[in-house]
Structure 1
Amino acid sequence: MTLKSKHYTIEKEYPVDRQTAWEQLADNNRLNDAIGLFPVKFQASQTESTGLIYREAAAKVMHVVPMTWKSLPFEWQELEYYTTERQYLDGPLNYYILTLEFFDVSEGEKPRTKVRLTAEFSPKNLLGYVGIQATGVPALKKIMAFLDDYQQEESETAPRANKRAPKVNTEQLESLSRQLAKYPVAPQFTARLQHYLANSTDQDAAEIVPKNLAKLWGMPVEEVLRGMLYATKAGLLQLSWHVICPNCRVSQDNHRSLSELERSFHCDLCGIAYDADFDQSVELHFAVHPTVRTAYAEVYCIGSPLITPHVIAQRIVRAGQTVNFKPVEGDTPMRLRVLQLNDQIRIGQTGAFRYTASGWVESSQETVDIAIVNDSEKDIVVALEYADWSKETVTAAKVTAMQEFRDLFSSEVLAPGQKIAIGHVTILFTDLKGSTALYEEAGDASAYGRVRGHFDFLTEHIKQNSGSVVKTIGDAVMAVFSKPADGVKAALAIQEKLGAFNEQTHDTLLLRIGLFSGPAIAVNSNDRLDYFGRTVNLAARVQGQGDAGEVIISRALFEQPDVAKLLDTPRLSAEPFTAELKGINGEQALVRLRMHEMAHIEAG
């Protein structure tokens, strides 16, 4: 006997904007935890004969009744809707499909959002009807009630009624918070973090993301990240390194130390093997320290929209089917990617595309959106996603370039002999002009003291611009930055402030500085994280092309948008030139930067 499916529709309006509603209800891992569903164990992705990928999942309903099902890929359009489907392999149900849609509701100046939930349950037997009423329908109601008590800064107010009371070692939390307050962190950061660790859910306490806290607290991401590094040193937090797939950007492995990192990894969902890369595939994660609170991030869902926030839209496209994605505003680079097959194509804001057995083909057809035709013989899953990584992602390249990290975690180095690539890093070299004469004139002890003093001066300006000193070589300094503009900003600040430093120390030190950006290799050198490669060699050679008071950079660095904006000031002169560098093949296109005030002082 075939039993009829049960259909449910619930609509509700909430006094929040659509972005907020989406962020709360499309994070299914945390949502399912909050409404009392059960942790799920997922197997590696598999492929049906039709070509469609899925994951087999298992859970114990009410911690007693085991159930297994095929979890199909989520489908969604960011801020518009998402759909999830389960095809049960055992138990009283055949399948379950859930869709949430989001709509703006105009009502004066205050934003409101209408959410429409539709659900379909297909019972396999009469027990299925009982299960739908006993667990399915209550879960739907809890989803729609999830936003009722939403508050913009919930972590700083009383916890939600449906949160389980966390088990916190209050005495330890207060003691370590007092220790954190002794570090150079803002008082409000310490107070907010203490409250967050005491009141957040286990899921949030076990997966603390700096950019999320920065948004919640209205603080710069860099300030929050620095505070979290000091909190880790104080013992409030612990850190781990997650190896991220460069395609789906989901964590494939995690380690407590950089020394545990392996060279190669495999993502079963994307079907690719890849090498660890500091600026793309290795990210820093934080969690509450177990001596403060026991918090474990259970897995309730994988593949939902907020787990992969770089994906704007995702659809299952059956063989011969046509689907449309809404265009994305702005000029951010986008791409279409077929999950697991790893076929991808860079796209504009609109366009028509065919997917064939040989890959993507762009059509000349004019469209107002993004049209996709599956001309292959297999079903596929297509993701529309940002082509570039988020600047707010705390990658290993970013955090290891911070002076605070090197000062606080000097033991965090790679295993001996391990080499990790960095796709893009900015290296700065300084050189103290006339240092040999300084030692001759002032004597070893006096000259060494003056050189050490100028190291402190350089370190402070490098640190203020999110960089770190890698090492000193004689009287020279090698520093690293994850963002090119930060390196240039630090170099200009050093040259600008050197005069005041000399007045303060009654000295006459002169510096030349060079910077170069590009790929490098991170290695363990003398128990310290160091960098090698052509970019490092070029930075060292470029510095030698300058004179006192000058900053020499590559033409490519000069033309980068963030750097060009920084240098667009009448206080600077920029002189392009070419030079042959010792040991480097071919001429290099360089730019000489000088500050006009400095040129005027020296000319006078």
Structure 2
Amino acid sequence: MLDITDRILAIRQYVDDGVAAAIEQLIREAPDTRLNRINPLAFALSHKLDERECVAAFLHATQLGLFELSWNVVCASCGGVLQACESLRAINQARYRCALCAVNCEPNLDESVEITFTVDHRVRKIEAHSPESLSLWPYVRQVFWSSGSDLPDDLSDVAREAVLDAVEVAPGERVVRQIQMSEGLAVLFDPVTHSSQSLEVTGAPSADPQQITVHIDDTRLQTAMHRLAPGVLNLVLENNTSRRVMPILWSVGEALKHMVERHIPVLTAKRLLTHQTFRDLYRTNVLDVNQRFKITNLTFLFTDLKGSTELYERIGDLAAFDLVRSHFQIAEEIVSRKGGAIVKTIGDAIMATFPNPVQGIAAALEIREAVNRLNRRNNRQELLLKIGIHSGPCLAVSMNDRQDYFGQTVNIASRVENIASPDAILVTSSSADDAEAHDFIRRQGAAPSSFLANLRGIDREIRVYSVPS
């Protein structure tokens, strides 16, 4: 094992000591299965640590060569990993097909792309670094299913109720399996090639053995349904690939449904892109210039200083610059602490994103209070901050060599900030009507009023809530 002491010390510069200590213990003592496709949210929960701190720690550890970061396209139905990539740029298909579930999956950053971390092979060699050496069930658990699948490390007992047969077939090998088939549906799925065959068993039992021959190749095809009667099936499996394959005959029923529906929260690509540490460490090359990824809901916060030109004229460039810089530092610290990220600054304005509305509203209230304290400390109302918040769908894109966002949601959020005044935060109904955000505003003792706003360039009225100081 590579000596990791100095690298853990480096991580301690950025995160809580308890988080760094937990990661060090993980690397040194955890079994191999716990070091493959680590779910940082589950790690935080199991160690009673802050999620944001844990994500930051794993990101710094990745930069220091302790872990490898993976972007995994995941089937929303079964939780299977359809593609594992070293970067978001490598996800280049408009849609993916899950052969086990027979459903299509469009990569969106809210749900279908998860982020995991695997220990670097130079730090510690684990079984998953050589997946071809894993036996059938360890392979299925560690390579096919995602970090959001709530399954035990040892799948054999859990899977037994849902599996009719499972076998490893060497390259070029032909095997025959004799299986007793009962009425119902079954799917023959190979997790290596992601190919499948469907079987419908119905009608009167057959007295004679039936036979199906399956040629497994690398085309990831799902063929038409095979129909047969209950009784003995001679299943002929031919491996036409250069790899070992592991076809599993699943009985499609309650046992399989219960197994694949068990999910736990994961670090989504959307959440990672709105993490300040990620934006700081991965400033460029996150997306290819031609890529467009959908996000179904993201919260945008825009701020701007009112009268900043007059401020420079009134108190001088140096004093004004120090004040404006203090405002940026305040905003960045609060946005990061509330789980968001600064996307960019435009003059004296800020554009930030958050995974959900309540985080954006909480950050806005705290930023406003911090700026008010700064004004009181200077005994002058020099910084007059306008804030607007809006949530909705958007596209994650690459613009000007950085990861950015595009769409009408961004435009509306910017326009809402334009009509805001320093004495109230403006929040659109798409953010304020979120149940968690609504409860949060109520707990703050605020009594927002609402109105219909006509925003420049928007052809419909937008309901906006004014949250007063």
TM-score by length of 2: 0.72
Residue 555 in 1 paired to residue 429 in 2?
yes
Residue of structure 1 equivalent to 2:418 = 544
Q: Structure 1 residue runs of 4+, over 4 Å off?
A: 303-307, 312-321, 384-390, 443-446, 504-507
Displacement of 1:179 after TM fit?
2.0
Query: C-alpha separation between the residues in 1 aligned to 2:440 and 2:291?
Result: 36
Alignment of 1:385-534 (within 5 A): 392-504=265-377, 508-534=382-408
Match of 1:235 among 60, 65, 72: 65
Residue of structure 2 equivalent to 1:14 = none
Query: C-alpha separation between the residues in 2 aligned to 1:450 and 1:307?
Result: 45
- Partner letter of residue 435 of structure 1? S
- Partner letter of residue 520 of structure 1? C
Displacement of 1:445 after TM fit?
4.8
The secondary structure found in structure 2 opposite 1:440 is: helix
Query: C-alpha separation between the residues in 2 aligned to 1:230 and 1:320?
Result: 50
Displacement of 1:479 after TM fit?
0.2
- Partner letter of residue 111 of structure 2? Q
Match of 1:253 among 67, 77, 83: 83
Residue of structure 2 equivalent to 1:131 = none
Contact 2:42/2:266 (CA < 8 Å) preserved in 1? no
Residue of structure 2 equivalent to 1:286 = 117
Query: C-alpha separation between the residues in 1 aligned to 2:78 and 2:68?
Result: 26
Displacement of 1:404 after TM fit?
1.1
Query: C-alpha separation between the residues in 2 aligned to 1:533 and 1:385?
Result: 38
Identity among equivalent pairs (%): 31
Residue of structure 2 equivalent to 1:187 = 17
The secondary structure found in structure 2 opposite 1:309 is: coil
- Partner letter of residue 487 of structure 1? G
Displacement of 1:583 after TM fit?
1.1
Alignment of 1:100-119 (within 5 A): none
Displacement of 1:553 after TM fit?
1.0
Query: C-alpha separation between the residues in 1 aligned to 2:294 and 2:100?
Result: 23
Residue of structure 2 equivalent to 1:205 = 35
Residue of structure 2 equivalent to 1:571 = 445
Query: C-alpha separation between the residues in 1 aligned to 2:319 and 2:252?
Result: 71
Query: C-alpha separation between the residues in 1 aligned to 2:438 and 2:11?
Result: 38
Displacement of 1:418 after TM fit?
0.9
Query: C-alpha separation between the residues in 1 aligned to 2:81 and 2:253?
Result: 20
- Partner letter of residue 149 of structure 2? T
Contact 2:428/2:465 (CA < 8 Å) preserved in 1? yes
- Partner letter of residue 462 of structure 1? V
Query: C-alpha separation between the residues in 2 aligned to 1:274 and 1:570?
Result: 40
The secondary structure found in structure 1 opposite 2:118 is: strand
Displacement of 1:529 after TM fit?
0.8
- Partner letter of residue 536 of structure 1? V
Residue of structure 1 equivalent to 2:248 = none
Match of 2:149 among 284, 308, 321: 308
Displacement of 1:385 after TM fit?
9.0
- Partner letter of residue 421 of structure 2? D
Residue of structure 2 equivalent to 1:263 = 93
Query: C-alpha separation between the residues in 2 aligned to 1:523 and 1:530?
Result: 5
Query: C-alpha separation between the residues in 2 aligned to 1:429 and 1:236?
Result: 36
Contact 2:357/2:432 (CA < 8 Å) preserved in 1? no
Query: C-alpha separation between the residues in 1 aligned to 2:371 and 2:447?
Result: 18
Residue 177 in 1 paired to residue 14 in 2?
no
The secondary structure found in structure 2 opposite 1:422 is: strand
Residue 535 in 1 paired to residue 366 in 2?
no
Q: Aligned in 2, Cα 1:204/1:385: closer, same or farther, shift over 3 Å? A: closer
Query: C-alpha separation between the residues in 2 aligned to 1:539 and 1:210?
Result: 31
Which runs of 5 or more structure 1 residues have no equivalent in the other structure?
Answer: 1-167, 322-338, 342-378, 596-604
Structure label with greater radius of gyration? 1
Query: C-alpha separation between the residues in 2 aligned to 1:505 and 1:289?
Result: 50
Query: C-alpha separation between the residues in 1 aligned to 2:197 and 2:422?
Result: 54
Deviation string for 1:356-398 (max 9, x for gaps)? xxxxxxxxxxxxxxxxxxxxxxx854636999985x3100100
- Partner letter of residue 123 of structure 2? V
Contact 1:552/1:591 (CA < 8 Å) preserved in 2? yes
The secondary structure found in structure 1 opposite 2:41 is: helix
Deviation string for 1:465-501 (max 9, x for gaps)? 0101001112110000012111110001111221112
- Partner letter of residue 347 of structure 2? G
Displacement of 1:436 after TM fit?
2.4
The secondary structure found in structure 2 opposite 1:426 is: strand
Deviation string for 1:493-535 (max 9, x for gaps)? 1112211122445652011111111111001112211001011
Query: C-alpha separation between the residues in 1 aligned to 2:36 and 2:354?
Result: 29
Q: Aligned in 2, Cα 1:591/1:315: closer, same or farther, shift over 3 Å? A: farther
Alignment of 1:9-20 (within 5 A): none
Contact 2:39/2:266 (CA < 8 Å) preserved in 1? no
Deviation string for 1:233-283 (max 9, x for gaps)? 232222111111222222111111222221322221222333211111111
Query: C-alpha separation between the residues in 2 aligned to 1:547 and 1:386?
Result: 50
Deviation string for 1:92-134 (max 9, x for gaps)? xxxxxxxxxxxxxxxxxxxxxxxxxxxxxxxxxxxxxxxxxxx
Contact 2:296/2:392 (CA < 8 Å) preserved in 1? yes
Contact 1:280/1:389 (CA < 8 Å) preserved in 2? no
Moved more, 394-403 or 259-268: 259-268
- Partner letter of residue 392 of structure 2? G
Count of aligned pairs between the two proteins: 371
The secondary structure found in structure 2 opposite 1:544 is: helix
Query: C-alpha separation between the residues in 2 aligned to 1:305 and 1:418?
Result: 24
The secondary structure found in structure 2 opposite 1:572 is: coil
Displacement of 1:452 after TM fit?
2.6
Query: C-alpha separation between the residues in 1 aligned to 2:453 and 2:360?
Result: 22
Contact 1:237/1:286 (CA < 8 Å) preserved in 2? yes
- Partner letter of residue 408 of structure 1? L
Displacement of 1:196 after TM fit?
1.4
TM-score by length of 1: 0.56
- Partner letter of residue 267 of structure 2? V
Query: C-alpha separation between the residues in 1 aligned to 2:34 and 2:87?
Result: 22
Deviation string for 1:146-171 (max 9, x for gaps)? xxxxxxxxxxxxxxxxxxxxxx22xx
Q: Aligned in 2, Cα 1:305/1:462: closer, same or farther, shift over 3 Å? A: closer
Query: C-alpha separation between the residues in 1 aligned to 2:147 and 2:290?
Result: 37
Query: C-alpha separation between the residues in 2 aligned to 1:501 and 1:436?
Result: 19
Contact 2:148/2:266 (CA < 8 Å) preserved in 1? no
- Partner letter of residue 72 of structure 2? H
Which runs of 5 or more structure 2 residues have no equivalent in the other structure?
Answer: 152-157, 164-180, 186-195, 199-250
Q: Aligned in 2, Cα 1:318/1:498: closer, same or farther, shift over 3 Å? A: farther
Alignment of 1:318-357 (within 5 A): none
